[in-house]
C-alpha cells in the first residue's frame, strides 16, 4: 500500500507540473531553458538537504559512477527534455498519452530481459490502463495526422526514455537508497545540460516574478518530490505495477483542468478514469493472491 500511495502522489504532482510547464512555454520560455533550470534547482535543493542531515546518502561506489552517468546524464536528461518538448509542440493531453505508452515498454523489457512473467491479470490491467488513459486525455478527438510531427516523435521518445528510467532506477535501488539514486540522477543530468546548452543562462534571463514562481513550483512540487516518491514506490512494488499506477497522472490532469480552467469531463473521459482505477485494483488483488498462494507460503 505504501508503494502504491507514493506512486499515486507522484502522479498527481507530475500532472500539475505539466500544466505549469505549458504556462511557462506560453510566456516565452523554451523547453530547454526550463529543463536546465529545473534539474539544476532540484540538484541544489537535494544537495542542501542531504548535506545538513543525510550525508550518508552521498556515498556511492566509484565503480558505479558510470551507472549514474548513464541513468542521469543520458536517460534522466532525455526524459526531461522529450516530455516538455512534446508539451510545447502538441496538446498537453496528447503528450501525456504518448508518454504513457511507457508501461507497455516497461512490461516488454521486464518480460524479455528480467524474466518477469506476464500473467493474464497483469496483461488485462495493462490494457485497461492504456485504454483508460487514452479516453481520459480525450485521445479519441485528437487529429493526430495534423499534429506537429516533431512533437509526436518527442512524445514517443519520452515514453521510451521513461520506461528505461524506471527499469534502470529499480536496478540501482538494489544497492542504494532511492534518494541517493535520485540525487545522482539529477546531478549528472545537470552536468549534461550545462555542457550541451549554454551554461547558467538563467542568471541573465529576464524572468518575471511570476515565472520564477512557476519555475520553483515545477522544480520542487513537479520534480524533486514526485521523482523521489516514485522511486520509493518502485522500491516497494514492481516497476510494471508502479508504471501502471502512475497512469493516475492524466486523471489528475483532467481534474485540475476541470477545477482551475473550467474544462468539463466528457462521459468517455470519466469512463476512462474508471478503467485506470479498475486496472490498479486488479493489480492489487493479483498481488494479494500471489502472496497467499500455497507456493508463496512454502517459499517463506
Task: Select, from the ranges 53-67, 81-95, 98-112, the one with the highest average predicted confidence (pLDDT).
Answer: 53-67
What range does the domain containing 58 cover? Answer: 2-299
Q: For the chain, how many structural domains are there in total?
A: 1
Q: Which residues contact 277 (CB under 8 A, 6 or more apart)?
A: 132
Rounded CA separation 226/291 (Å): 28
Helix runs in the chain, H state only: 2-26, 31-53, 65-68, 77-89, 92-99, 102-113, 120-136, 149-172, 178-195, 209-219, 225-236, 239-245, 248-260, 267-292, 294-299
pLDDT tens digit sequence for 124-173: 877 887 787 777 666 777 665 565 678 878 888 988 888 888 778 878 87
Average confidence (pLDDT) over 288-295? 56
More confident call, 269 vs 230: 230
Question: 225-236 and 2-26 are packed helices; what angle lies between their axes, rounded to 10 degrees?
Answer: 150
Rounded CA separation 192/77 (Å): 7
Rounded CA separation 120/282 (Å): 11
pLDDT recorded at residue 242: 74
Length of the chain: 300
DSSP symbol at 72: I
pLDDT tens digit sequence for 45-64: 999 989 988 889 899 999 98
More confident call, 281 vs 274: 274
Amino acid at each position: 500500500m505504501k508503494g502504491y500511495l507514493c506512486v499515486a502522489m507522484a502522479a498527481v504532482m507530475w500532472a500539475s507540473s505539466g500544466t505549469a510547464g505549458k504556462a511557462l512555454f506560453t510566456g516565452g520560455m523554451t523547453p530547454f531553458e526550463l529543463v536546465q533550470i529545473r534539474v539544476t534547482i532540484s540538484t541544489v535543493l537535494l544537495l542542501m538537504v542531504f548535506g545538513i542531515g543525510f550525508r550518508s546518502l552521498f556515498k556511492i561506489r566509484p565503480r558505479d559512477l558510470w551507472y549514474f552517468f548513464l541513468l542521469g546524464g543520458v536517460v534522466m536528461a532525455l526524459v526531461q527534455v522529450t516530455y516538455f518538448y512534446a508539451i510545447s509542440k502538441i496538446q498537453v493531453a496528447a503528450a501525456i498519452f504518448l508518454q504513457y505508452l511507457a508501461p507497455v515498454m516497461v512490461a516488454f523489457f521486464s518480460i524479455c530481459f528480467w524474466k518477469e512473467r506476464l500473467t493474464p491479470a497483469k496483461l488485462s490491467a495493462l490494457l485497461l490502463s492504456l485504454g483508460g488513459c487514452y479516453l481520459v486525455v480525450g485521445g479519441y478527438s485528437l487529429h493526430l495526422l495534423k499534429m506537429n510531427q516533431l512533437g509526436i516523435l518527442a512524445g514517443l521518445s519520452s515514453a521510451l526514455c521513461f520506461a528505461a528510467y524506471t527499469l534502470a532506477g529499480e536496478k540501482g535501488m538494489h544497492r542504494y537508497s532511492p534518494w541517493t539514486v535520485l540525487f545522482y540522477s539529477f546531478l549528472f543530468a545537470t552536468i549534461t545540460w550545462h555542457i550541451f546548452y549554454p551554461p547558467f543562462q538563467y542568471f541573465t534571463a529576464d524572468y518575471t516574478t511570476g515565472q520564477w514562481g512557476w519555475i520553483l513550483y515545477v522544480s520542487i512540487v513537479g520534480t524533486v518530490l514526485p521523482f523521489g516518491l516514485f522511486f520509493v514506490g518502485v522500491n516497494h512494488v514492481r516497476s510494471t505495477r508502479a508504471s501502471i499506477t502512475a497512469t493516475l497522472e492524466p486523471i489528475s490532469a483532467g481534474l485540475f483542468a476541470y477545477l482551475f480552467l473550467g474544462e468539463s469531463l466528457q462521459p468517455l473521459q470519466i469512463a476512462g478514469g474508471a478503467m485506470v482505477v479498475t486496472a490498479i485494483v486488479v493489480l492489487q488483488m493479483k498481488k494479494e493472491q500471489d502472496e497467499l498462494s500455497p507456493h508463496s507460503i512454502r517459499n517463506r
